[in-house]
Structure 1
Amino acid sequence: MRVTTQDGRVVLAPDQAEKPLDVHSLSDNQFLALGLSNVAYIRPALTDDGEEGCAIHAADGSPLAVVEDMETAWGVILQNDMIPASLQ
């Protein structure tokens, strides 16, 4: 599998052998080339004052922020040019 970019988008193309991609064998740099550095996921969490809210994490699991609700979480992610993914 070749990972390239075209017009700012990641393009996956089969290599000459056309073998299926084994994601377990990808290096950190290959994951970054797939755009995982631009993905953030949202999951339920408690805010600083003990209220229910949403935690925002980077694709690698690093915590980024805790906000009041899902709408705010999506807005924060999109404002930072990231792609939101929800885990519920």
Structure 2
Amino acid sequence: MNIKTHDGIAEDAPFQAFLDPHQITEAQLAELGLEEIAYVRPIMTPNGPAFGVFAANGVPMAVAADNSVARAAIVQHELAPVSVH
């Protein structure tokens, strides 16, 4: 990715860098948040209503019987649950 520091010099130190939104590719945009966030949304399964856990890019990761269990699974796997409207 194209990463710049506050003074415009690229470095390997991620804590001092930010992503330049003018230089991001579509593929890089699709990867943002994959290792940090997941979301829950209601789904229909053959056994009835449930809650699906999805990666930031929409890939299904798990199914739970209720919303709180799905959100707890996200936190247990060291991801941040986010709301999707």
TM-score, normalised relative to structure 2: 0.63
Unmatched 5+ stretches in structure 2: 6-12
Say whether the 8 Å CA contact 2:30–2:57 is kept in structure 1: no
User: In the TM superposition, what whole-angstrom CA distance separates every residue of 1:5-59 from its partner, at most 9, and x where no partner exists?
Assistant: 33xxx8537x7xxxxx24xx52335764x54332111111124521x22111111
Matches within 5 A, 1:1-88: 2=4, 5-6=14-15, 12=18, 21-22=21-22, 26-27=24-25, 28-29=27-28, 32=31, 34-50=32-48, 52-88=49-85
Unmatched 5+ stretches in structure 1: 16-20
Say whether the 8 Å CA contact 1:42–1:73 is kept in structure 2: yes
Say whether the 8 Å CA contact 1:56–1:73 is kept in structure 2: yes
Percent identity of the aligned residues? 29
Instruction: Tell me which stretches of 4 or more aligned residues in structure 1 moved more than 3 Å.
Output: 27-32
Query: How many pairs were matched up?
Result: 75
Q: Secondary structure at the match of 1:36?
A: coil
TM-score, normalised relative to structure 1: 0.61
